[in-house]
Structure 1
Amino acid sequence: MKQQFYLGEWQVDAASNTLSLGKTKRTIEPKAMDVLLLLCQQQGDVVSADDIVAQCWPNAPTGDNPVHKTITQLRKALDDKASAPLFIETIRKRGYRVIAPVQFVNDEQAQAAQANWHDASPFLGLSAYSPAESKVFFGRNALTRELITRISTQFKQHRPFTLVMGPSGSGKSSLVHAGLLPRLLDTKGTNGIRAYDYVSIDVADINLATNGFTNLLNELAASMLDWGNDEKGVFDGFSAQSLANALQNQPEEIINHVKKWFSEAVSGNNTGVNVPYPCFAIVIDRLEALLAHSAVSENEKQKIFTLLETLSESNAFLVLLVTRNDFYPLISTYAPLMKNKARGAHLDIAPPSLSELGQIIKLPAVAAGLEWEWDENSNASVDDIILADSAKEPNCLPLLQYTLQELYLQRQGNTLQLTTYRKLGGIEGAIGYKAEALFAALPKGVQHAFNAVMPLLVNLTDEGANLTSKSARWDELNTDAERDFVKQMVDNRLFVSYLNQGTASFRVAHEAVLRKWDRVQQWITQHQSALSNKSSLTRQTKLWLADGKSSAYLLTEGKPLINAVALNDMPHIRVSKDEQMLIKASTQKAKQKRYLKGLP
């Protein structure tokens, strides 16, 4: 008999008759625990009062109306209500059933064995997991439950607005997309919350350099147009442009449309069970790309965050912002992002424990029917060797996932081999090894394109203190060698090619490519000053254009102007036409000042 399990966010220990939720711990009677265990073992099925008596208290005196009293005790312990149940629902004249999700502690192994995953690699490498890959997403159940608990509390406070933060490569996006969203999108929902659809926007894929605020709003609006069911769309009658305008100027109109849809389509029971908190989810991924982008004004950023906050306060929208935690100084400057931090609105992702790492490594292989080679020298299988190596590497998830994907792609039959793992250089060397081996095999002319492509993908902010990746357009590549270089990187899964707002674009598959490939790090060190100067020039150009090319924002004579002029002479730093205009205007202004002073 299963003795430990989770009922929604509550951890249940049947052996000790206890329910735990954070620091809250409650003890119930053994008979009540027997009933709870029976209902949870038959999750979703209606269990009659007679069956409860027969299975929980056979041949024992029960007194008057024992089942009703026991259910009342359970509801009190769970902070549940018969009129608006989140955990135990009464089915009139039939019995009772559990409606919250139930997960027994040892279920992950069983779920992996039943997954029968044959679609593709069960290891996604540098790509984030999506809801479609939730069947092979393991090791983050505790974190997912914590996130659900916090969101449930925020709905009760009428502001489901959460920041999911962590270091680069900590699995933030995968947690939201493959851990949280599938549970919210389930027809039964979870903890009283059901998301009827969602939109996920990767900010790094949005063109923020020109009309960034408008482009982000248009992308959100275009995605929201798909919401609804077969009978009725949420925004029937809207175009993408009219919806974007309403989001910006009349968000309450959008909120009313969503609430009306819930009232008509959901309460009419066309789409499944009713839940206390029906919603649509808005996920803004890689928020740091917006926070750090100088082309979007502070006022425009504030408008975006205020809009998202307004939508969340209606309780019809769940807002999830995913961002790197090293951008916290920028996060802290915006009130909507800091509100309710002390009440759980910020979830900081910790590295996986040793047990969780074991699940991340082993269970996807179980799901895909893979085997691990045995090493007689160490008397260990390859998965245990990888687990031991992973435990030594803090924040190793992207490196680990990339290594596992390479082991899968180079497998022999269904066996993941030790020789392949050693050849890759283990966890630490896998990405750098693959990138450098690929680079060495390229023709010399294509290798030289490395210097031209890197500035399109690398962004240094805060005077070089922060490294981020950025997207680039294929039409920014000037030569066949540059295009061939990017194509080779895409074909080998180090870069990703995709359509960004109708424009063919590319980016690094993960920032670990930039951080763990020695050649890139050496290039950044060599060009750090130029990259930092380019970032400053881009920021100053934005201010100059925004103020109607005012002379107040021209580059001052001396180091700022000298650094900017020098960028024009650097073959691998690309200066835009607007930036060239600023340099030219600043140079002319400096010449005029020297002329007036009688200087040469």
Structure 2
Amino acid sequence: MHRRIERPGERRTLEPRHADVLSYLATHADEVVSAERLLQACWGSGFYGDNPVHKTIAMLRKALDDDARAPRYIATVRKRGYQLVAPVASPATTRLPRASTPYRGCHPYGVDDGAVFFGRARALTDLRDTFFEAHAGGIRSIVVRGASACGKTSLVMAGLIASLIAPAARVAFPLAGWSSVTPDTVDDINHLLRSTAPHQRVVIVADGLERMPATLAPMLDRLATDTRVMLIATCRDADLAGCRRRGMGHSLLQTSIEYAVTAPSAGEVASIIRDPARACGLRFGQDPDDARQLDDVLLQDAWKHPGSLPALQQMLADIFHSRDASGVMPFDTYRAVGGIDGALTRHALRHLKETHGSWHPALPRLLRRLALVTADGRLRSPCVPLRSLDEAELALVDSLVDARILASRLLDDQPCIVAPRPLAAIRLAEAGGYA
């Protein structure tokens, strides 16, 4: 999303929240959207009252040279909300077959998933700008960093790489090919480089720098100094200093620029929920008790806890796989699984059973340190420094981060862990086994 309003001889850049509201109205142009719904979709909460919505609409009208009394763009529907009344034209898209999988669960989106990768347009624009500015300035390495499970890999693979391999991108960037660095792709990368002309470029992705074996360090250093290579590495914030200490990607880290991935806004989370379903011709069901839309409930549930993106994706995958023959994803699945927390707990149990086999006695002790009940009955998760964990607890951390029950963060330059969904951590602690 470029956040611009363009007319002949004029260009205006919108503030991010204003762009979110305009985008939401545009994607629901056939509906009257209430202020409460805009608050949930673009602010993530109705806590602030309606005033932010009214101010934002006023600013949008000013930017559009619109008049509330004779609207050409945004109309006020008394006691109901707002509606975009101007014609809306969207870029031509190809509807995907209903059998396609629009939600990846706790797994990242890959290069082939670009058609269903939504909600990160702003981050993708920023990352592409960083990429092309680095290339123009002779910088050949970019480190994409952020908290664990913030969407780094998906942004690079389904966003940046997918856009670079599109035929239209070849004019701006002479891409000869791309590859990921793993122990199994060393020969493929060497073959690709041997067949690449000096004027061409190769993009190499070092995904998860913190998990890479030390045997790949010499190759990363060599790639970081090859003038034909643009090297893109992803790394958790909490592990970046450790990568530097052990010499993993030394030349890469010395010469790179960094791009920090932040959590999506409420409007972007709404897009992550709704737009893949729309692309595949799917619909969200309603609560049979009170007619609430499942997508609205998912948005509200996800926005209660920062860092809920993997848990939300797991819930979306579960309801996708329970869709009926007409493409409706049922509300009953959300309720039967136990909401987003229940879906995440089930996924974590499967993951731990595969990785550890038997119940680890330190698991309940660790999780109860990370999921606390406050005096007023609310759940919270403190940031716990890794250095405060004992050996048995440390042995579980990587698995729990991979299972998305825990996330790694950097707090005051100290690596920490936190439970983004405290209720899921409590349920896992009480599960009593990996069954």
Q: Is the 8 A contact 1:185 1:196 kept in 2?
A: no
Give the total of aligned pairs.
314
Amino acid of the residue matched to residue 512 of structure 1? R
Amino acid of the residue matched to residue 178 of structure 1? A
TM-aligned CA deviation for residue 11 of structure 1: 4.6
Match of 2:24 in 1: none
Q: Is the 8 A contact 1:169 1:512 kept in 2?
A: yes
Residues 15 and 522 of structure 1, relative CA distance in 2, 3 Å threshold: farther
Normalised to the residue count of structure 1, the TM-score between the two structures is 0.46
Taking the TM superposition and a 5 Å limit, the aligned residue runs for 1:271-350 are 278-290=200-212, 296=214, 303-311=218-226, 314=227, 316-331=228-243, 333=245, 336-339=251-254, 345-350=257-262
Q: Is the 8 A contact 2:344 2:405 kept in 1?
A: yes
Q: Is the 8 A contact 1:435 1:517 kept in 2?
A: no
Amino acid of the residue matched to residue 348 of structure 1? A
Q: Deviations over 1:157-198 (max 9, x none)?
A: 112211111112111111111011111111221782243321
Mapped to 2, the partners of 1:118 and 1:180 lie a distance apart of: 25
TM-aligned CA deviation for residue 15 of structure 1: 7.3
Q: Deviations over 1:386-430 (max 9, x none)?
A: 111111121111101100000011223311111210121212221
SS at match of 1:355: helix
Match of 1:171 in 2: 151
Taking the TM superposition and a 5 Å limit, the aligned residue runs for 1:377-456 are 377-413=289-325, 414-433=327-346, 449-451=357-359
Amino acid of the residue matched to residue 285 of structure 1? D
Q: Is the 8 A contact 2:348 2:404 kept in 1?
A: no
SS at match of 2:106: coil
Residues 392 and 12 of structure 1, relative CA distance in 2, 3 Å threshold: same
Taking the TM superposition and a 5 Å limit, the aligned residue runs for 1:157-168 are 157-168=137-148
Amino acid of the residue matched to residue 105 of structure 2? G
TM-aligned CA deviation for residue 347 of structure 1: 1.0
Taking the TM superposition and a 5 Å limit, the aligned residue runs for 1:84-99 are none
Matched, 1:221 2:214: no
Mapped to 2, the partners of 1:16 and 1:394 lie a distance apart of: 41
Taking the TM superposition and a 5 Å limit, the aligned residue runs for 1:14-29 are 14=7, 17-18=10-11
Mapped to 2, the partners of 1:146 and 1:152 lie a distance apart of: 10
What is the aligned counterpart of 2:6 among 5, 9, 13? Answer: 13
Match of 1:258 in 2: 196
Amino acid of the residue matched to residue 201 of structure 2? C
TM-aligned CA deviation for residue 226 of structure 1: 5.8
Match of 2:374 in 1: none
Q: Which moved more, 1:371-380 or 1:510-519?
A: 510-519
Amino acid of the residue matched to residue 137 of structure 1? F
SS at match of 2:143: strand
Task: Please give the root-mean-square deviation of Cα atoms over the aligned residues, in Å.
Answer: 4.0
Normalised to the residue count of structure 2, the TM-score between the two structures is 0.61
Amino acid of the residue matched to residue 262 of structure 2? A
Match of 1:124 in 2: 104
Gaps of 5+ in 1: 23-105, 203-215, 228-233, 236-256, 263-277, 471-507, 524-600
Mapped to 2, the partners of 1:447 and 1:327 lie a distance apart of: 22
Q: Is the 8 A contact 2:139 2:255 kept in 1?
A: no
Mapped to 2, the partners of 1:332 and 1:419 lie a distance apart of: 48
Mapped to 2, the partners of 1:418 and 1:119 lie a distance apart of: 20
Amino acid of the residue matched to residue 384 of structure 1? D
Mapped to 1, the partners of 2:125 and 2:355 lie a distance apart of: 47
Matched, 1:512 2:404: yes
Matched, 1:366 2:278: yes
* Identical-pair percentage: 22
SS at match of 1:307: helix
Match of 1:43 in 2: none
Mapped to 1, the partners of 2:386 and 2:340 lie a distance apart of: 29
Residues 16 and 379 of structure 1, relative CA distance in 2, 3 Å threshold: farther
Amino acid of the residue matched to residue 380 of structure 1? R
Mapped to 2, the partners of 1:449 and 1:155 lie a distance apart of: 47
Amino acid of the residue matched to residue 422 of structure 1? R
Q: Deviations over 1:514-565 (max 9, x none)?
A: 7656587689xxxxxxxxxxxxxxxxxxxxxxxxxxxxxxxxxxxxxxxxxx
Match of 1:199 in 2: 179
Amino acid of the residue matched to residue 258 of structure 1? T
Mapped to 1, the partners of 2:288 and 2:112 lie a distance apart of: 38
Q: Is the 8 A contact 1:331 1:337 kept in 2?
A: no
Amino acid of the residue matched to residue 159 of structure 2? G
Amino acid of the residue matched to residue 352 of structure 1? P
Taking the TM superposition and a 5 Å limit, the aligned residue runs for 1:7-156 are 11=4, 13-14=6-7, 17-18=10-11, 114-156=94-136
SS at match of 2:307: coil
Mapped to 1, the partners of 2:425 and 2:307 lie a distance apart of: 16
Residues 159 and 468 of structure 1, relative CA distance in 2, 3 Å threshold: farther
Residues 302 and 133 of structure 1, relative CA distance in 2, 3 Å threshold: closer
Mapped to 1, the partners of 2:210 and 2:267 lie a distance apart of: 30
TM-aligned CA deviation for residue 16 of structure 1: 7.4
Match of 2:33 in 1: none
Amino acid of the residue matched to residue 405 of structure 1? A
Mapped to 2, the partners of 1:332 and 1:372 lie a distance apart of: 46
Mapped to 1, the partners of 2:356 and 2:209 lie a distance apart of: 33
Residues 177 and 21 of structure 1, relative CA distance in 2, 3 Å threshold: farther
SS at match of 1:196: strand
Amino acid of the residue matched to residue 403 of structure 2? E
Mapped to 1, the partners of 2:255 and 2:7 lie a distance apart of: 34
Mapped to 2, the partners of 1:418 and 1:141 lie a distance apart of: 28
The structure number with the bigger radius of gyration is 1
Amino acid of the residue matched to residue 317 of structure 1? V
